[in-house]
Amino acid sequence: MQIRVINPNTTAGMTAKIGEAAQRVASPGTRILATNPHSGPVSIECHFDEVVSAVGVAEEVLAGEREQTDAYVVACFGDPGLLAARELTRAPVIGIAEAAFHMATLISTRFSIVTTLGRTGIIAEHLLQSYGFAHHCRRVRAAEIPVLDLEDDGRAALDRIIEECLRAKAEDNIGAIVLGCGGMADLTDEIRREVGLPIVEGVTAAVKLAESLVSLGLETSKFGDLDYPRPKTFSGEFARLSGTGG
């Protein structure tokens, strides 16, 4: 089984890190192909970054369709372009935010989120409401670190995240914490050790959900509103997308 793990930003180092985290939890027969769009923002920290990155996500799915791809993971916590990606393939497509939320509700009754910048909190809030998990989440917290700080070697970012997780543990009346950024995928174990609470990380969660759906023979529904796009003309720099569809 091949799972294309799409890092929606263009920072290759983060893509590699995400790919390693994904591979570590993958089943023996699963090959992880970690990719990122050629074009787009180096990190995703607001709606504008999301909008641009979502095109890259779609193109990465189209690229995956030209190979043999069994499932996709969208590895940014805002799940950018998720429903569009699902329209482009029969294969399952899993966002890491939804994956983390699903998993967190299976092992706890209430969780908090610890994300990077405070301004991304609204993205998490919107997803929680849309997916139906709003009442399972006690609080969205931010460590107030830019995403790319997670790529630095030092402990500063990690320490801030652990600090915020400990605060959530002490104050939020929760049973688990969801990490709110794909860039935290390699930190999960250390955070778990320091915090002493189940820590749910989305990249790894999404890989397992993707594998699960493939094993079950469950594909993205092509009946109704997730059907392939009606092929049409795209103009300008997006002309290459003309005719995309079933």
Q: Could you say which residues in the range 108-147 bind its own copies, by CB under 8 A?
A: 108-110, 118-122, 126, 129-136, 146
Candidate list 98, 165, 183, 191; residue touching its own copies; CB under 8 A: 98
Closer by beta carbon to its own copies, 163 or else 226: 226
Stretch that binds its own copies, among 149-157, 158-166, 178-186, 224-232 (CB under 8 A): 224-232
Stretch that binds its own copies, among 150-158, 160-168, 179-187, 236-244 (CB under 8 A): 236-244
Closer by beta carbon to its own copies, 68 or else 235: 235
Distance between CA 87 and CA 226 in Å, rounded? 5
Separation in Å, CA 228 to CA 39, 88, 164: 24, 6, 42
Minimum gap (Å) between residue 240 Cβ and its own copies:
10
Closer by beta carbon to its own copies, 159 or else 246: 246
Q: How far is CA 162 from the centre of its chain?
A: 20
For residue 20, the SS3 value is: helix
Minimum gap (Å) between residue 43 Cβ and its own copies:
6
Q: Which of residues 181-200 bind its own copies (CB under 8 A)?
A: 192, 196-198, 200
Q: Does 230 bind its own copies (CB under 8 A)?
A: yes
- Show the 3-state SS of 164-208: HHHHHHHHCCCCEEEEECHHHHHHHHHHHHHHCCCEECHHHHHHH
Distance between CA 46 and CA 125 in Å, rounded? 13
Sheet holding 2-6, edge to edge: 31-35, 2-6, 71-74, 93-95
Q: Does 102 bind its own copies (CB under 8 A)?
A: yes
Stretch that binds its own copies, among 149-157, 160-168, 178-186, 233-241 (CB under 8 A): 233-241
Place of tokens 């699902």: 86
* 102: phi then psi, degrees, rounded to nearest 5: -55, -50
Distance between CA 112 and CA 168 in Å, rounded? 7
Q: Does 156 bind its own copies (CB under 8 A)?
A: no
Minimum gap (Å) between residue 127 Cβ and its own copies:
10
Q: Which of residues 47-76 bind its own copies (CB under 8 A)?
A: 47-52, 54-55, 57-58
Closer by beta carbon to its own copies, 154 or else 217: 217
Closer by beta carbon to its own copies, 63 or else 226: 226
Distance between CA 10 and CA 129 in Å, rounded? 28
